[in-house]
């Protein structure tokens, strides 16, 4: 019995680390759009750096009412800036909006700027609303945020996989 408990805890820990702490990430030299999701972590500098490097012609910034995303970015030469408030006010709302924009502008790929903890769930949700390639560039979280984020992301991922299965 003890072996089963230890094995279960070990598997859970490995899956947690792979999904929320060290998910696969990276992006090609250019994508159709950079999409910064709202949430904890210092996301704007990363999204702005990618836009300044002209990794995409479009920068999309999700703003939320909790204050995580701050203000919209200043105009940038050669980059179309789109700021929005997701509806619903969550990653699913961001994924739905991204899907609508992708269809409107004929995008073939996007890079999501988010935290490592949100990476897996964001890929799943955006992938349901967008048929192109989805890449992720992450920002770190403060050590104090990790316990809450791991618990939250497990619950939100299970909800996304079981309850909200469509776009």
- Please state which of the ranges 16-25, 36-45, 135-144, 151-160 shows the lowest mean pLDDT: 16-25
**Which residues lie across from 11 on neighbouring strands?**
none
Beta pairing, strands 80-84 & 109-115: unpaired
19 token code pair:
């999904």
- Please state which of the ranges 29-38, 125-134, 147-156 shows the lowest mean pLDDT: 147-156
pLDDT digits (tens, 9 = 90+) for 52-88: 999 999 999 998 755 555 568 888 899 999 999 999 9
What integer best gives the mean pLDDT of the chain?
Answer: 88
pTM of the predicted structure, to 2 decimals: 0.86
**Gyration radius of the chain's alpha carbons:** 16
CA dihedral sign, ordered 160, 15, 62, 102:
negative
CA 17 distance to own-chain centroid = 17
User: Nearest-CA neighbor of 60 among 49, 73, 70, 45?
Assistant: 73
């Amino acid at each position: 019995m003890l072996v089963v408990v230890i094995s279960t805890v070990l598997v859970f820990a490995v899956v947690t680390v792979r999904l929320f702490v060290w998910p696969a990430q990276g992006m090609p030299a250019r994508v159709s759009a950079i999409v910064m999701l709202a949430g904890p972590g210092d996301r704007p500098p990363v999204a702005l750096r990618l836009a300044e490097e002209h990794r995409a012609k479009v920068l999309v910034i999700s703003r939320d009412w909790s204050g995580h995303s701050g203000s919209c970015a200043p105009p940038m030469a050669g980059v179309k800036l789109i700021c929005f408030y997701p509806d619903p006010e969550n990653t699913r709302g961001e994924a739905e909006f991204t899907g609508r924009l992708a269809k409107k502008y004929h995008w073939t790929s996007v890079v999501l700027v988010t935290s490592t903890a949100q990476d897996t769930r964001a890929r799943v949700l955006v992938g349901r609303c967008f048929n192109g390639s989805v890449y992720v560039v992450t920002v770190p979280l403060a050590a104090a945020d990790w316990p809450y984020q791991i618990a939250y992301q497990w619950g939100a991922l299970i909800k996304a996989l079981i309850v909200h299965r469509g776009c």
